[in-house]
Every structure is written in structure tokens, then in C-alpha cells.
Amino acid sequence: MKIMVPVVAGLFAALAAAGTVHAAAAKYPDKPIRMIVPWNPGGTSDTIARILGQKMTERWGQQVVIDTRAGASGIIGTEIAMRAPADGYTLLHANMSQWATNPSLYKVNYDTLRDFAPISMVATAPQLLVVHPGVAAKSVQDLVALAKAKPGALNFGSGGAGTLAYPAGELFKSMAGVNLTHIPYKGTILALNDLIAGQVQVVFSDMPIALPHAKSGKVRALAVTSAKRTPLVPDVPTVAESGVPGYALENSWGVFARRDVPADIVAKLNAEIVRVHALKDVRERYAALGLEAMSSTPQRFAEVIREDDAKFSKIIKATGAKVD
């Protein structure tokens, strides 16, 4: 009988721990939630994180605090989230850069699926290829012809090597057979500001920050990067139909918790994010920004991460893209 004591004690300890986890999940959230955005204030990720955070706050009665931690193409904020406690009170609102481009371009300390628990995807959108109004190009074909006539003379800005804008530009160079000079910034919104000022000539930008400027005439939209035209801007052609056949790239956004967050909390967060992104006003606000609101299961999100990682690893290797 004495031999059984440790076994029974261990069983009771395991049951007690499980009970504690379930109790914590039942009360969750009972304090404010911190949602880290690893990009600049005012950018796409910050904007849609605030929309989500507001809806979660209204539903749960606990403040969702948006914490922007920009730097190193999103790596700084991502690694801060990686070191947070696995209790569901620190979330990461990330985009494809964190799980698809950064791991192929930088030596990062995180592994997306090892260190994080995918909760749900939240949005998807193509990039918008925009040029300064002073550039003598009113179509992708014009841009290609101009770039071929003046190799290296045109600059394309990006939010840093890890942002989708960079491989988008490098893939364009490779497939169109042109030479554009890459100018990296600490955020796509900064690259767009310099495009408006005429310091760079081309940017593959997130739709939400570029579309208002395209509508006002501060920049000229030439194409979207998706395989098909998007209903978000149906009159804007794709890069592929405008002279670069086969060209296609889209960005996506999602929310993560730390790995080992209790499954009940992951399920509760997923259900809330799914609810928010089914709301008519949220879908309309995203659409006005040039984004499609969406949601997914954690399992499907994990599959997308693996698919994107494999896809962009091939693109970066094929184009020779590297950190400047």
C-alpha cells in the first residue's frame, strides 16, 4: 500500500492542477489584456488591432490595451510577446511578416509554431502598387518600360526587409526583368510618407494606408498584387493582368497567444475573435480600409502559417532577396 501513496498523491496533484486551469479559464478575463502590435502606430496592424480590441473590451468588460512595439521588421515586438507569461493576458496581433518572411531573412529567436499558439486569422488583403504622381507611369506596363529604360534609377520603398512590401518588390523585379533600388524604412507608413514627398518613386503598400492617398490623388494606384481583382477596389487591375503574368501575393493578419496557454482560454479567445469578425460594422470598417475581415480555427491558422512559410522561403531564395 505504501508503494501506491506517491501514485495517488500525484493523481490528486494532477487533478487539482487541472481544476485550477479550468477555474482560471472560466474567470478569464478578469483583468486587462495586453495586445502587442509589433509595428508603428497608425499602420494597418495597429488600426485593425484597435477595432478588435474595442469590441473585445465592450463584450468582456475588461480593457484590451494596444501596445505598439515597432522595430526590426516586427521582430522586437514579436520577441517581447514570446517572453510573456502563458496566461492569455498578453496577445500578439501579427501579420505575415512574423511567420513567413522574417524567418527566411533574419536570424530570429522565435519559431512561430513552437513559441506561439495561433488563435485565429483576422484579415487578408492584397498589396497596392502605388507610384508618386510625378512618375511617368499610368500602368504597370508603363512602369516596366520606364524601369527598363532607366535601370536602377527608380527606388522602391518598404517597411523593412521583413515586411511583405520587400519580397513583393523583389518578386516584381525578378518576374518583370527590371532593376529597382530598394530603400528600407522602419515601417511601411514611413515609406509611404516619403513616396508622397517624392523621395521614393514606388511602394508595394498595405491597402489601408495607401488607398486613402490614392483616392485623394497624392499617390497613383497602378495595380493590386492578388491573383484576381479584389471587390475592395474592383476598378484596379492586378499586376498579373497588367503585364507580369503569374504575379500574385497577398498579406494576412492574425492573433496569437503564448504557447502553452490553456486550451480553454485559446477556445474562448477564438470564439470571441470569430464573433467580432462576423459583425457587419466590423466587416464594413475593414472593407473601407481595403481589407477583408475573416476568422479561422486555430488549426486552420496553423496550416496557413506552414503554407506561407514554405511559399515565401521559395520566393526569397529564388529572387535572391536579402537584408540590406
Residue 2 lies in a domain: no
d(CA 310, CA 279): 32
Residues 36, 120, single domain; the answer is yes
Domain of residue 193 covers 126-242
| Residue 177 belongs to a domain | yes
Same domain, 111 and 166: no
Looking at residue 14, what is its pLDDT? Answer: 47
Q: Are residues 54 and 76 in the same domain?
A: yes
Whether residues 116 and 131 fall in one domain = no
Cell of 128: 497596392
**What is the predicted pLDDT for the residue at 274?**
98
Query: Is 132 in a helix, a strand, or coil?
Result: coil
CATH of the domain at 184: 3.40.190.10
pTM greater than 0.95: no
- For residue 119, the model assigns a pLDDT of 98
Same structural domain, 133 and 225: yes
Which letter does DSSP use for residue 64 in this model?
A: E
Candidates 29, 21, 89, 104; CA nearest to 59 is 29
Same domain, 205 and 224: yes
Would 17 be classed as within a structural domain? no
Domain presence at residue 15: no
Could you tell me the CA-to-CA distances from 143 to 156, 213, 227, 242 in Å, in that order?
12, 19, 19, 10
Residue 6 lies in a domain: no
Domain C-terminal end among 212, 242, 272:
242
Do 120 and 131 have their domain in common?
Answer: no
Counting the structural domains of the chain, the total is 2
Q: How far apart are CA 164 and CA 167, in angstroms?
A: 6
Domain stop point among 216, 242, 268? 242
218 lies in the same domain as 260: no
Same domain, 281 and 314: yes
| Same-domain check for residues 39 and 94 | yes
- Residue 148 inside a domain? The answer is yes
What string of pLDDT tens digits covers the 324 residues of the chain?
Answer: 444 455 555 555 545 444 554 566 779 999 999 999 999 898 889 999 999 999 999 999 999 999 999 988 899 999 999 999 999 999 999 999 899 989 988 889 999 999 999 999 999 999 999 999 999 999 999 999 999 999 999 999 998 887 888 889 999 999 999 999 999 998 888 999 999 999 999 999 988 889 999 999 999 999 999 999 988 889 999 999 999 999 999 999 999 999 999 999 999 999 999 999 999 999 999 998 889 999 999 999 999 999 999 988 988 888 887 776
Q: What is the CATH number of the domain that holds 308?
A: 3.40.190.150
Q: Which of 209, 242, 275 finishes a domain?
A: 242
- The answer to whether residues 57 and 79 belong to one domain is yes
Q: In the prediction, which pLDDT does 207 show?
A: 87
Q: Cell numbers 498579406 label which residue?
A: 251
The reported pLDDT for the residue numbered 316 is 86
Does 307 lie in the same domain as 295?
yes
Q: Is 5 inside any structural domain?
A: no
- Spatial separation of the C-alpha atoms in residues 284 and 275, rounded to whole Å: 15
**Grid cell digits, residue 292:** 477583408
> Is residue 262 situated within a structural domain?
yes
